[in-house]
């Protein structure tokens, strides 16, 4: 098994891509701990795969740090951190609420920073560890009237590269995953901005060369690759999984 006995923390693991990635890790032998703001959702996702669940609001620095400390106290190590929790707030420069921009920064950038800061000492002591930050295809291209989301997801990539350069000598690998369009409720803000599901479906069909949404398993496999030894000589990199949208 690729991840036998490795301890993995997945933020935002109660649904969608985070849940799919957590399931893939558990299937490969990892001891997975799911963090999600919705405790019931985290528990339901964890029960499906024999994982642990914790209700954690990643925008709360103290709660996030305490949750990671609790995992370390319980398991004695943390081998994988997948910073997946995210928020999407629509609007261009004049439309977006300042509070929405701040919330985007808190969840999409500050929370991965705080979580990585919390696991770094134990990973350094272990001489090994993997941090995977979920960015987005919006982190490498223009995203129509989504300034808060695009700005924060670009920042995630910069932060990933900085972490990777600083911590490679300690055996810690840090990479970023940039998913494209996946059919989950996370797209609701963009869908509303586009004028409904039919409009978004048409947008995906036109803008994505493969002409469709991604399936969740098509995100789980890249996650598994990035957190396992299959990518053991890869750090500071950005893996875009978007059906070709960024090449056109």
What single string gives the DSSP state of each residue in 50-67?
Answer: T-EEEE--TT-HHHHHHH
For every residue of 97-157, which 3-state class applies, written as one string?
A: CHHHHHHHHHHHHHHHHHHHHHHHHHHHHHCCEEEEEECCHHHCCCCCCEHHHHHHHHHHH
First to last CA, the chain: 38
Q: 240: which strand partners?
A: 178
Active-site residue, selected from the candidate residues 142, 149, 203, 233:
149
Q: How far is CA 113 from CA 3, 55, 76, in A?
A: 24, 19, 22
Separation CA 175–CA 156 (nearest Å): 10
Catalytic-residue membership of 149? yes
Question: Catalytic residue positions?
Answer: 149
């Amino acid at each position: 098994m690729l991840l036998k006995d490795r301890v993995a923390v997945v933020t935002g693991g109660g649904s969608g891509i985070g849940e799919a990635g957590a399931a893939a890790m558990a299937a490969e032998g990892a001891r997975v701990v799911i963090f999600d703001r919705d405790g019931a959702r985290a528990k339901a996702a964890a029960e499906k795969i024999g994982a642990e669940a914790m209700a954690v609001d990643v925008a709360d620095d103290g709660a996030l740090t305490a949750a990671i400390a609790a995992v370390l106290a319980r398991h004695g190590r943390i081998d994988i951190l997948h910073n997946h929790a995210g928020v999407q707030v629509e609007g261009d420069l004049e439309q977006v609420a300042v509070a929405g921009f701040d919330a985007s920064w808190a969840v999409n950038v500050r929370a991965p920073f705080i979580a990585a800061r919390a696991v770094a000492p134990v990973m350094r002591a272990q001489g090994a560890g993997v941090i995977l930050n979920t960015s987005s295809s919006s982190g490498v291209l223009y995203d129509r009237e989504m300034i808060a989301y695009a700005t924060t997801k670009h920042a995630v990539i910069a932060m990933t590269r900085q972490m990777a350069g600083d911590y490679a000598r300690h055996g810690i690998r840090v990479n970023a995953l940039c998913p494209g369009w996946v059919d989950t409720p996370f797209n609701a803000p963009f869908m509303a901005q586009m004028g409904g599901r039919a409009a978004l479906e048409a947008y995906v069909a036109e803008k994505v060369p493969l002409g469709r949404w991604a399936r969740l398993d098509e995100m789980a496999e890249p996650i598994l690759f990035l957190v396992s030894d299959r990518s053991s000589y890869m750090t500071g990199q950005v893996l875009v999984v978007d059906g070709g949208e960024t090449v056109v």
